[in-house]
Amino acid sequence: MRNTGRPCPPFDRQLGGAEALSMGFPLSGWPCGFINWEKSGGEHSSPHFKIREKGGGGVPIDSLGFVYLFLPASMAAYYLTSNRYKNFVLLVVSLVFYGMLFPTMLPMALGSLLFDYLVVQLLALWEGNPAWRSLAAGASVVKNMGMLLALGMLARPQALMAPAGLSVINLTSMGYVLDVYDHEAPADSSFVRYGILCLFFGKVFVGPLVTYNQLAPQLKKIRPSLSGIASGVVAFTIGLGKKVILADSVTALYESLRATPLYEMTSMAAWVMVLAFAFALYFTLSAYSDMARGLGKIFGLDLPQNFYYPYQARTVTEFFGRFNMTVSEYWKRYIRLGRPDGSHARLTAAFEALFVTALWGVWFGFSPNCLAFGLLIGALVLVERHLTGKLLRAIPPVFSRMITFLVVILSLVFLLGGEWSQIAAYLRMMFGLGSRPATDETFLYLISSNYLVLLGCLFLSTSSADMLGRWIKKNYPQLDDGLTVVFNIGLLVITTALLL
When mean pLDDT is compared across 227-231, 275-279, 435-439, the lowest value belongs to 435-439
pLDDT at 417 (0 to 100): 66
Whether pLDDT at 207 is above 50: yes
| Mean local confidence (pLDDT), 156-176 | 72
C-beta atoms surrounding 405 within 10 Å:
20
pLDDT of residue 16: 28
For residue 153, the tally of other CB atoms under 10 A from its CB is 15
Distance CA 279, CA 273 (A): 10
Q: Model confidence at 53, in pLDDT bands (50, 70, 90)?
A: very low
As to burial, measured by CB atoms within 10 angstroms (0-12 exposed, 13-18 middle, 19+ buried), residue 239 is buried
Name the DSSP letter for residue 478: H
The pLDDT of residue 163: 52
Q: What is the pLDDT of residue 248?
A: 95
Mean pLDDT, the chain, rounded, equals 84
How confident is the model over 86-99, as a mean pLDDT?
95
Q: Which amino acid is at 247?
A: A
- What backbone phi and psi angles, to 5 degrees, belong to 36? -115, 150
Burial of 361 (0-12, 13-18, 19+ CB in 10 A): buried
Which range in 21-25, 372-376, 433-437 is most confidently predicted, on average pLDDT?
A: 372-376
- Residue 129 CA to residue 449 CA, distance in Å, equals 67
Amino acid 9: pLDDT: 33
| pLDDT computed for residue 42 by the predictor | 38
Q: What angle do CA 191, 193, 199 make, to 5 degrees?
A: 90
Q: What is the mean pLDDT of residues 381-399?
A: 88
Pick 325 or 17 by higher pLDDT: 325
8 A C-beta contact, residue 145 and residue 151: no
Residue-wise pLDDT tens digits, 96-129:
999 998 888 899 999 999 999 999 999 999 998 9
Under 8 Å CB-to-CB from 2, ≥6 apart: which residues? 244, 248, 249, 252, 498
Q: Is the pTM of this model over 0.85?
A: yes
Measured from the Cβ of residue 179, the count of other Cβ atoms closer than 10 Å reads 19
Q: What is the pLDDT of residues 232-252, one digit of tens each?
A: 999 999 999 999 999 999 999
Strand-strand pairing, 19-21 and 44-49: unpaired
pLDDT at 452 over 60: yes
> Residue 19's pLDDT band (boundaries 50, 70, 90)?
very low
Give me the pLDDT at residue 98, please: 92
247-293: per-residue pLDDT in tens? 999 999 999 999 888 888 889 999 999 999 999 999 999 999 999 99
The Cβ of residue 397 has, within 10 Å, a number of other Cβ atoms equal to: 11
What pLDDT was estimated at residue 156? 56
pLDDT at 26 > cutoff 70: no
Q: Is the pLDDT of residue 27 over 50?
A: no
Average pLDDT of the segment spanning 430-446: 83
pLDDT, position 41: 36
Other residues' Cβ atoms within 10 Å of the Cβ of residue 82: 7
Helix (H) or strand (E) segment spanning residue 400: helix 397-411
Q: Is the pLDDT of residue 455 over 80?
A: yes
∠26-216-130 over CA atoms, to 5°? 85
Closest CA to 199 of 103, 288, 93: 93
Edge to edge, what strands does the sheet with 35-40 contain? Answer: 19-21, 35-40, 44-49
Residue-level length of the chain? 500
The kind and range of the H/E element at 415 are helix 413-416
Highest mean pLDDT among 43-57, 333-347, 370-384: 370-384
Q: Are 228 and 303 in contact (CB under 8 A)?
A: no
Task: Report the C-alpha gap between 417 and 433 in whole angstroms.
Answer: 17
Longest dimension (CA), the chain: 73
Rg of the chain taking only CA atoms, in angstroms: 23
Mean pLDDT on 297-303: 95
| pLDDT for 480 | 80
Between residues 38 and 160, the one the model is more confident about: 38
Query: What pLDDT was estimated at residue 57?
Result: 59
The reported pLDDT for the residue numbered 440 is 83
Residue 31 clears pLDDT 80, i.e. is over it: no
CB 154 within 8 A of CB 108: no
What distance in Å separates the CA atoms of residue 135 and residue 133, rounded to the nearest whole number? 5
Q: What is the tens place of the pLDDT at every residue in 303-349? A: 999 999 999 999 999 999 999 999 999 998 988 765 555 567 778 88
The DSSP bridge partners found for residue 19 are 39
Quote the pLDDT of residue 342. Answer: 58
Backbone dihedral region for residue 180 (phi beyond 0: left; psi -120 to 50: alpha; all else: beta): alpha
Alpha-carbon separation of residue 151 from 32, 125, 158 (angstroms): 11, 32, 11
